[in-house]
Amino acid sequence: MNFEEFWTRGDVHERVKIALKEANLLEKKLEIEDLFPLDQYHARGIAATIELADKLNFSKNSTIIDIGCGLGGPARYFSKRFNCNVYGIDITEAFIEIGNYFNKLTHIDHQVTLLKGDGEYLPYQTEFFDGAVSQHVTMNIENREQFFNEAFRVLKKGAIFGFSEHGLGTKGSPIFPLPWADNEDMSFLKTPEYTKSLLKKIGFKNIKIISTGEKYISGYNSLLKKGQSNEKPTLGIHVIGGDSMLERSKNSMQSIIENRTYPFEIICNR
């Protein structure tokens, strides 16, 4: 399975189309909120995006980059909440296509632009952005130094950078398959201490680490409860992640409980 196949799991366009139809969302004018159950592709969904946004507090009319933006759900949220312009970049072409379609459906395409590309080689000028965000992407990035160097390069001096990831826990060896990787070939976990020292070496300042493990465990628990009952919703993370999403989420939760992984957010300044 290649990278694109891992993320799309067959015909993700078709699954999204069916889900929107079954949820009766194709017959009305959509707000970005209507898509939250589908387009926040990370642990705890929109709740985690809102909490990260509280810490980032982007300025009105600022220009923000979302690196590894997925379907653009967080980008749309930041744009609406802070009235700012967001450029999202993601390596999975199908996600960018669906994300730009969602931008049109929610009439936010004048403020949110999504582009296919690699977060390790950002197609933007130096010191272009007022802020950057990246949720649950770095677990797939082997060359972290290159990825963070690029974030540093495109940010203006003093700009805020916030990201979240599943870091490596004290026990190591996470249980596969996981939401971000079926095996070790795609998963490159680092301890929060390593990440902090790398960011410092690159030149980031005011680096704060916030543990998110407890919140993730309760988020995964409610996802699993819903998934195992008959109340499985029409819209949900399973539409994008496919049938194996439940098993992968369970492994992610168990990996946190056994200290194999250590999820955290980092907030810092360029």
Ligand X SMILES: C[S@@+](CC[C@H](N)C(=O)[O-])C[C@H]1O[C@@H](n2cnc3c(N)ncnc32)[C@H](O)[C@@H]1O
Q: Report the DSSP beta bridge partners of residue 208.
A: 267
The residue with tokens 């994300």 is 99
Q: Using CB under 6 A, count the residues that bind ligand X.
A: 23
Site for ligand X in 183-212 (CB under 6 A): none
Q: CA 175 to CA 252: how far, in whole Å?
A: 7
91 binds ligand X (CB under 6 A): yes
Contacts to ligand X from residues 57-76, by CB under 6 A: 68-70, 73-74
Contact flag: residue 118 with ligand X (CB under 6 A): yes
Measured at CB, which residue is nearest to ligand X?
70
Shortest separation between residue 230's beta carbon and ligand X, angstroms: 27
Q: Which residues of 41-78 are buried (b: 16+ CB within 10 A; e: fewer)?
A: bbbbbbebbeebbeebebeeebbbbbbbbbbbbbbbbb
Distance CA 118, CA 122 (A): 7
d(CA 174, CA 137): 17
| Residue closer to ligand X, measured from CB, 47 or 205 | 47
180 is a contact residue toward ligand X (CB under 6 A): yes
Spatial separation of the C-alpha atoms in residues 267 and 206, rounded to whole Å: 8
Among 8, 85, 92, 261, binds ligand X (CB under 6 A): 92
Give the x-and-dash track for 127-156 against ligand X (CB under 6 A).
--------xxx--xx---------------
Q: Is 182 in the site for ligand X (CB under 6 A)?
A: no
